[in-house]
Amino acid sequence: QSALTQPASVSGSPGQSITISCTGTSSDLGGYNYVSWYQQHPGKAPKLMIYDVSNRPSGVSNRFSGSKSGNTASLTISGLQAEDEADYYCSSYTSSSTLVFGGGTKLTVL
Amino acid sequence: QVQLVESGGGVVQPGGSLRLSCAASGFSFSSYGMHWVRQAPGKGLEWVAFIRYDGYNKYYADSVKGRFTISRDNSKNTLYMQINSLRAEDTAVYYCAIGYFDWSMDVWGKGTTVTVSS
């Protein structure tokens, strides 16, 4: 199972909005609504930010939102803050009853 | 509060074995599926395995199938991962995570480090 495709890095200034894409195939991301997004700060465990494409767990800021169109999912962060600087990973359920992650995107807040 | 504490990591020679544990507390462990995810040094996340709430259905990444065995003891609120025939590429931080909705990893432990080296 190949990894989902994410941009290696994105950047934005405080207050701006950014979007991170995650591209898969019809056998994974495009075929199911089990897409999740995780935030990971250096040396820390990942944290779930979005599940089932667009749902936010309790306690996650509403500045984070998720969507999907075809074989591509997106994570949008609005009102960018310094604390949002981290690595972000998408994941998807696959037709093989496994999970696959994206390669990760490093978000830099300028 | 919900807590997951991994243990059992260490330095192992190639070909060796380890059993990782994940002690769960603060939630109804027997009601939820559980995942293992690993992260090699400086690399991204790699999903390893998932076990359903009752332990009867188990799913593995192709990269570990046949060498790794996920299991759980609901009476002890503990998740396990038996790792055999260790290879250098198994060197990683291993995290356990709760799958409240099965295919997302909702709460994570802090991880335990496995180093495979001669």
pLDDT per residue of chain A (110 residues) written in tens, 0 to 9: 688 999 999 999 999 999 999 999 999 999 999 999 999 999 999 999 999 999 999 999 999 999 999 999 999 999 999 999 999 999 999 999 999 999 999 999 99
The pLDDT, as a whole number, for residue A10 is 98
Q: Are A50 and A56 in contact (CB under 8 A)?
A: yes
Instruction: Check B47 against A91: CB less than 8 A apart.
Output: yes
The pLDDT, as a whole number, for residue B101 is 84
Residue with tokens 């994206």: A102
Instruction: Check A46 against B104: CB less than 8 A apart.
Output: no
Q: B75 to chain A, minimum CA–CA distance in Å? A: 26
Q: CA B97 to CA A10: how far, in whole Å?
A: 27
Instruction: Check A48 against B105: CB less than 8 A apart.
Output: yes
Instruction: Check A45 against B61: CB less than 8 A apart.
Output: no
pLDDT digits (tens, 9 = 90+) for B84-100: 999 999 999 999 999 98
Q: B14 to chain A, minimum CA–CA distance in Å? A: 25
Residue with tokens 């994941």: A91
pLDDT digits (tens, 9 = 90+) for B1-58: 999 999 999 999 999 999 999 999 999 999 999 999 999 999 999 999 999 999 999 9
Q: B52 to chain A, minimum CA–CA distance in Å? A: 12
Q: CA B72 to CA B19: how far, in whole Å?
A: 12
Q: Nearest Cα to B79, choosing from B3, B22, B18, B20?
A: B22
